[in-house]
Amino acid sequence: MNLAVGTLAYLVTRTFRNRVITMARRLRQPKYALGFAVGVLYFGFIVFGQTRGGGDGPNLFQNDSFRALAPLFLVLILAMGWFASGAQSALAFLPAEVALLFPAPVTRRELILYKLAGAQIPVIVNALILAFIFGGGLQEIPRWLAFASLWTMFATISLHRLGAALVRASLAEHGVAGAKRTWVSYVIGLTVLAVIILAVVPHQVQLEGASSPIDFMSRFEQLLSAPAVRAVLYPFALMIAPAFAQTVGEWSLAMIPAIALLAAHLIWVLRSDVAFEEAAVEASAKRQAVIDNVRRRGISGANEATPKATRTIPLGSTGHPAIAIVWKNLLGLMRTTRPSQFIGILVLPVVAALILGKRSGDPALIVAGVTGMIAMVTFIAGPMTVRNDLRADLLNIESLKTFPLRGRELVLAEVTSSALPLSLFQFVLLGIAAVALQSSQKPLPFGVTIAVVVTLPIALFGLNLCYSTIQNGIAVLFPGWIRLGSEGQGVGAVDMMGQAILGMMAMLIAFLICLILPALVAFIVFTMVKPPAVVAAGFVMVVGSLALVGESYAMMLGLGRALERLEPSQVG
Amino acid sequence: MIVVRELAKHYGAVHAVDGLSFDVQPGEVLGLVGPNGAGKTTTLRALCGIIVPTRGLVEIGGHDIQRDPVPAKRALAFIPDEPHLFEYLTVEEHLRFIARLYGVADAESRMGPLLAELELSDKAMAMPRELSRGMKQKLAIACGLLHDPSVLVLDEPLTGLDPGGMRKMRATIAARARAGSAVVLSSHLLQLVEELCTKILVMRQGRAVAFGTIDSIIATRPEFAGRSLEDVFLTLTGDAAQQ
């Protein structure tokens, strides 16, 4: 075996082994042991539920509509690697890897192979989770075959993301020189996009005639069955075909092209590497020519980087110090998100109204429905992506602990930092939904709308505060088990789906448990006060939300004490 | 100003710090010296409330750092060897942030001269990723000095600084002590310790092996007479045999 490859393989395996040992050693601490026990019960509950209900439940992979739309979903997932910000993280190396491996006698190709090998560990873990924990309702074939299908698919996606990151890095580093070397990748991507657009746009009328979202999806599915679309989506359909196989025979046949595609991706990634190096050499030569030219003319070659004009929020130097934490975190959020991301979300209901509203005759109702749905999605997915709280700040625990703040003040400020912007965004969305609903043909009674809109801010803040407290609580109590830092799972990280689903379900269960007490309080107060019917909904929301805020604050007091005892050596 | 009594920090069977006691009065500079793993950084972290001692007492300005941490932490500044900065705050915003945390009412008038002193004026709008290692260290120093702390704790204060920066840093530490701050610094640079410190605490395996002025430590053993601080240090920490 090549010496460098052997050394890098040693590094991957020892890192994995030592990580597992470190995690196991943490179980000596009572809180980790308790967390582990809860986790085992949670897994058992899911597996038991799958085994009992798996055979009777609807099989997603036997659904024809899902099968027809799945290649398009895959295109969208892969497209994120090309266009979304943050997708470059696929190329990221750790500081220790940069310091020790980059100057070492290791080729760039070997480094990429090392990166690929390292990426296989989470891919395998997630495929195992999906196949063996959630696999009951997925496929009829044995679970180890389901695991192989999922591994092939996720590994291909992972490779694709790395390839896209290499191409983007090449373009960013070397401009036109990089583009010349990566044009094939762009031609393929643009062809797929163009064919889908050309197939859908001429039949827009058919889509506009849809009477409901289900009818819309059904018509869209028909458009995707056009020969040209099927042709461009064919490789993507092949990539996921093993996951849809219902017999061992079908699976065996489907695996051959899927593995071929995996191999093709591997070759592409390694070839991208070669192109990357060539582009670098070409760009270096051009840069040298520019430098020589400048020297000949006697012009200073120094190019001072101009400071970036950044938007800011004013902050007074006096007042409660915890506000400084919220200010810092909001600035961080502001600087890691782009306004276009929010505008894109707000445009979606308008597009839906334009397409579906004509047929239904009530575009305002469509806007209200879609906006409300987006608000619901942001409630569940928002706290997983907006991480400008302790999940990001714990990496700076040494600084945090020198600040003149009590633990509870710090936790409150950190939790508010993510709960507040999420609540504001959801309030805007639900406000739009309320206005649209009032303009629709089926408006709610005005009193109800006003009651809901008035009580909505406190309800949203209460719900988000509780959800964020749970997320931050896990970071404080189990910092060694979760990913810290402001970066989320990463766009298009479908290969991390298993862990994401497990995490999200656990959070939701914890959240639902937290809702029990406030619901009881709201019920008791409601039966005691018996408010008039017109304000009943708003009354219950306010009482329940206040109880939820109180419960969240009680949790924060406990977390504050835990944070005061948390030490830098326990983080990471 | 700083009172430490029977301070101990144990990690399982490892006793990182064990039974350390010392005082630092206003105007004094205490140098913490010892070989790697002697427990210097653990001691500094315990002084600042970053870690919870296994036992013992740390008082800053009369406040127990564990029982009454807010007033204790308001009085002190910790400047670590590795600057911990916030990724999405500019240089100037770091200072505004610190000003609010510590309630520095006249922050506006302090920020300009402080940035100029540390040669960061033209980087006021720069993010930490745009700064060199030395500039990051200077920013961490600026954050530590903005609120005029009465207790200054520094871990390897000259790390990452250029010669000019080192000279300024030495002058700043001396000036802060003259102005009445109690200073504790940890360093492997024995020349720095000799130049700045009024007292030194030599540590080995979590324990104090010598404490006092350099002259008083030298006076404890006849064989130290006429020897350099480096020789004294190596003998005290048991490293002399290895040289």
For the ranges A373-377, A543-547, B6-10, the lowest mean pLDDT is seen at A373-377
DSSP letters of A263-302? HHHHHHHHHHHHHHHHHHHHHHHHHHHHHHHHHHHT----
Interval A208-239: pLDDT, tens: 666 666 777 777 777 777 787 788 888 888 99
Q: Which long-range contacts (CB under 8 A, 24 or more apart) does A265-271 make?
A: A265/A156, A265/A159, A265/A160, A265/A163, A266/A116, A266/A159, A268/A159, A268/A163, A268/A185, A269/A112, A269/A116, A269/A159, A269/A162, A269/A163, A269/A166, A270/A109, A270/A112, A270/A113
CA-closest candidate to residue A356, choices A196, A220, A194, A193 = A220
Mean pLDDT of chain B: 93
Asked if B97 reaches chain A (Cβ–Cβ under 8 Å), the answer is yes
Residue A346 pLDDT > 50: yes
Residue B12 has pLDDT above 80, yes or no: yes
Question: Does A368 share its domain with A281?
Answer: no
- Find the CB nearest B126 among A307, A398, A486: A307
* B14 Cβ contact list (under 8 Å, min separation 6): none
Q: Which residue in B50, B70, B104 is closest to A405 by CB distance?
A: B70
Choosing among 3.40.50.880, 3.30.420.40, 3.40.50.300, 1.10.10.10, the CATH entry for B2-86+150-242 is: 3.40.50.300
Judge contact between A459 and A541, C-beta under 8 A: yes
C-alpha span between A524 and A564 (Å, rounded): 36
Distance CA A342, CA A239 (A): 32
Domain match, A246 and A331 both: no
**Is A404 a member of any domain?**
yes
| Residue spans per domain, chain B | 2-86+150-242
Give me A474's structure tokens. Answer: 């896990």
Instruction: With beta carbons under 8 A apart, name residues in chain A contacting B127.
Output: 308, 310
Range of the domain at A512: 322-570
Nearest residue, CB atoms, B100 vs list A321, A335, A397 = A321
Number of domains, chain A: 2
pLDDT digits (tens, 9 = 90+) for A159-206: 888 888 777 776 766 666 656 656 666 777 777 777 777 777 766 666
- State residue B223's pLDDT score: 86
pLDDT reported for residue A287:
46
pLDDT band at residue A293 using 50, 70 and 90 as cut-offs = very low
Same-domain check for residues A279 and A195? yes
| Together in a domain, A281 and A331 | no
Assess if residue A407 is contained within a domain: yes
CA distance A61 to B25: 74
| CA nearest to B111 within chain A | A317
Structure confidence at residue A226 (pLDDT): 77
B65: helix, strand or coil: coil
With bands split at pLDDT 50, 70 and 90, how would you rate the model's confidence at A301?
very low
Per residue in A251-290, pLDDT tens? 999 999 999 999 999 888 887 755 555 544 454 454 445 4
Query: Quick check: B89 contacting A, CB < 8 Å?
Result: yes
d(CA A511, CA A474): 12
State the pLDDT at residue B240: 47
| Residue A310 to chain B, least CA–CA distance (Å) | 8
Task: Give me the percent of chain B exceeding a pLDDT of 90.
Answer: 81
- Is B48 part of the contact surface with chain A (CB cutoff 8 Å)? yes
Pairing type for strands B151-155 and B76-79 reads parallel
Provide the terminal-to-terminal Cα distance of chain A, rounded to the nearest Å: 34
pLDDT higher than threshold 60 for residue B191: yes
Would A280 be classed as within a structural domain?
yes
* Predicted pLDDT of residue A60: 58
Average pLDDT over residues A131-148: 74
CB contacts of A308 in chain B (<8 Å) are: 125, 127
- The amino acid that residue A45 corresponds to is F
Which of A428-442, A479-493, A534-548, B94-108 has the lowest average pLDDT?
A479-493
Per-residue model confidence (pLDDT) at position A305: 39
Indicate whether A155 and A230 sit together in one domain.
Answer: yes
| Number of other CB atoms surrounding residue A5 within 10 Å | 16
Nearest to A355 by CA among A201, A195, A222: A201
**Is pLDDT of A341 > 60?**
yes
A289 and A326 fall within a common domain = no
Query: CB of B13 within 8 Å of any CB in chain A?
Result: no
| Burial environment of residue A71 by CB neighbours within 10 A (0 to 12, 13 to 18, 19 or more) | buried
Could you tell me if A485 and A337 lie in one domain? yes
State the greatest distance between any 2 C-alpha atoms of chain A, in Å, as a whole number: 89
Q: Which two tokens stand for residue A547?
A: 């109880």
Best to test chain A binding among B50, B104, B137 (most A CBs inside 10 Å):
B50
Residue A294 is predicted with a pLDDT of: 40
Q: Which residues of A500-514 are buried (b: 16+ CB within 10 A; e: fewer)?
A: bbbbeebbeebbeeb
Q: What phi-psi label fits residue A492: left (phi over 0), alpha (psi between -120 and 50 degrees) or beta?
A: left
Let me know the angle formed at the C-alpha of B169 by B161 and A95, rounded to the nearest 5 degrees. 30
| Residues of chain B found within 8 Å of residue A564, distances taken between Cβ atoms | 52, 69
What does pLDDT average to over chain A? 79
Residue B14 bridge partners (DSSP): B11
Q: Is the predicted pLDDT of residue B124 greater than 90, yes or no?
A: yes
Give the pTM. 0.79
Q: What is the pLDDT of residues B80-117, one digit of tens each?
A: 988 989 989 999 999 999 999 999 999 999 999 999 98
Q: Decide if A551 contacts A514 (C-beta within 8 A).
A: yes
Contact A402 B51 (CB under 8 A): no
**Residue A516: what pLDDT?**
96
pLDDT at A404: 96
CA atoms of A223 and A69, how far apart (whole Å): 11
- Note whether A327 and A250 are same-domain residues: no
Residue A4 belongs to a domain = no
- In chain B, pLDDT over 70 holds for what percent of residues? 98
Counting beta carbons within 10 angstroms of the beta carbon of residue A313, is it exposed (0 to 12), middle (13 to 18) or buried (19 or more)?
exposed
Is A404 within 8 Å of B71 when comparing Cβ atoms? yes
- Whether residues A470 and A543 fall in one domain: yes
When pLDDT is cut at 50, 70 and 90, the band that residue A487 belongs to is low
